Amino acid sequence: MLDTEKYRIAVIGAGPAGRAAALSAATLGVSVDWYDKQDRAGGKLNEYHQLFPHRVKPETLLSGFRESELPAGIKKHFGIAVNRIETEQAQVILLSDNKVVGGADAVIVATGFDFFDARLKEEFGYGMYKQVITSADLEQILKTNPSALKKNGADPASIAFVHCVGSRDQQIGIGYCSRLCCITGIKQAIEVKELYPSASVVNFYIDIRAFGTGYEELYREAQEKYRIRFIRGRVSEASENQQYNIVLKAEDTLMARPLKLTVDWLVLLVGMVPSCTQVELDNKKGVDGETGFYDLADPLTGSRISGQEGVFSAGACNGPMSIPEAIASGRSAAMEAFNYIHSR
């Protein structure tokens, strides 16, 4: 048996994937250095209202991030933004703004994703029109102050969701599908409808990609129970009228006719893009040129980043991923990092 405790694995990122990786590595007996640019653990989980498709509160997950829940082998280094990794003689060196902040035998990068900057799709007027918000904004509103959706004290009469904003769009150079915006839109539409039952809620979609367990069921529930309308066609233009409502133009592709709709709120279901604080790797390799996410050496079975030694990645920094997928990916990266150290 190896004396595993003397080996160190660094985990960058304290979201669901990072936590799963850190916990799993600690369970395997390795010493873990856990980094995050923020002062607290949880990453984007802290900003969510409810998690799809079962609509549990993120707090139920976040409780597992508490200090008391962590094993002794994990050492936290929060508030440090590791943004560069170098490898030297089979050792990984972590740098923050060119200062060395630590080292390890292997590193698991779990830096997650950012929401697409909706201002780039300027035709939706995000950042110009007050009534145009993103799904991330709506999540915040639902979490902290749902009555912010009221207009002049009255319940909102109509809310439209646009799917695929910053996803599957060659115009902005994003060829991939963010996968999770569909179910987010379905979930948020239901939440809004529950809050304001009299509101007419419309989702404009290209395809509904309800791929996960329970997603299709939630989609159907949205249609049948909540009477949320799904119009196949993407909004391509939004403007403001005198009452500061948003006038949408889309095509109902099933009817092959253009349509116009005025809504109180336009919610842009923004896609997932690589985190802007993504860690730079040796030789600048390991990043997919098309998507900007990490490129895995063996995308079918592995977590090692291509062109790197001892550098693994977990979660949505590899591409759009749901929370359970990110957690599974974190665990598997820990196992792989552990095996890597042993086989050295």
Give the one residue of 54, 55, 57, 119 binding another protein; rule: CB under 8 A: 119
Counting contacts by CB under 8 A, is residue 128 touching another protein? yes
Counting contacts by CB under 8 A, is residue 291 touching another protein? no
Scanning 145-153, 184-192, 221-229, 320-328 for contacts with another protein by CB under 8 A, the matching segment is 221-229
Counting contacts by CB under 8 A, is residue 257 touching another protein? yes
3-state helix, strand, coil in the chain (%, to 5): 30, 30, 40
Rounded least distance, CB 274 to another protein, Å: 12
Q: Which pairs from 302-307 meet CB under 8 Å and 24+ separation? A: 302/336, 303/108, 303/329, 303/332, 303/333, 303/336, 303/337, 304/336, 304/340, 305/109, 305/281, 307/281, 307/282, 307/283
Counting contacts by CB under 8 A, is residue 194 touching another protein? no
Counting contacts by CB under 8 A, is residue 117 touching another protein? yes
Counting contacts by CB under 8 A, is residue 66 touching another protein? no
For 94, the 3-state DSSP assignment is strand
Rounded least distance, CB 242 to another protein, Å: 6
139 contacts 192 by C-beta, under 8 angstroms: no
Counting contacts by CB under 8 A, is residue 155 touching another protein? no
In 3D space, the residue among 55, 106, 25 whose CA is nearest the CA of residue 323 turns out to be: 55
Contact mark string toward another protein, 72..111, x via CB under 8 A: ----------------------------------------
Counting contacts by CB under 8 A, is residue 150 touching another protein? no
Rounded CA gap, 147 and 247, in Å? 22
Which amino acid belongs to residue 280? E
Counting contacts by CB under 8 A, is residue 285 touching another protein? no
Counting contacts by CB under 8 A, is residue 127 touching another protein? yes
Closer to another protein at the Cβ: 91 or 200?
A: 200
Longest dimension (CA), the chain: 74
Counting contacts by CB under 8 A, is residue 114 touching another protein? no
Counting contacts by CB under 8 A, is residue 214 touching another protein? no
223 contacts 202 by C-beta, under 8 angstroms: no
Q: Extract the tokens encoding 42.
A: 């949880």
Counting contacts by CB under 8 A, is residue 1 touching another protein? no
Give the one residue of 4, 38, 50, 223 binding another protein; rule: CB under 8 A: 223
Counting contacts by CB under 8 A, is residue 242 touching another protein? yes
Give the one residue of 5, 252, 280, 290 binding another protein; rule: CB under 8 A: 252
In 3D space, the residue among 245, 267, 50 whose CA is nearest the CA of residue 157 turns out to be: 245
Rounded least distance, CB 271 to another protein, Å: 14
**Which residues, in sequence order, are bridge partners of residue 114?**
273
**Which residues, in sequence order, are bridge partners of residue 104?**
92
CB atoms near residue 162 (< 10 Å): 29
Enclosing H/E stretch for 197: none
Closer to another protein at the Cβ: 16 or 125?
A: 125
Residues at the site binding another protein, with contacts judged by CB under 8 A: 117, 119-120, 122-123, 125, 127-128, 171-173, 208, 220, 223-224, 227, 229, 231-232, 237, 239-242, 247, 252, 254-262
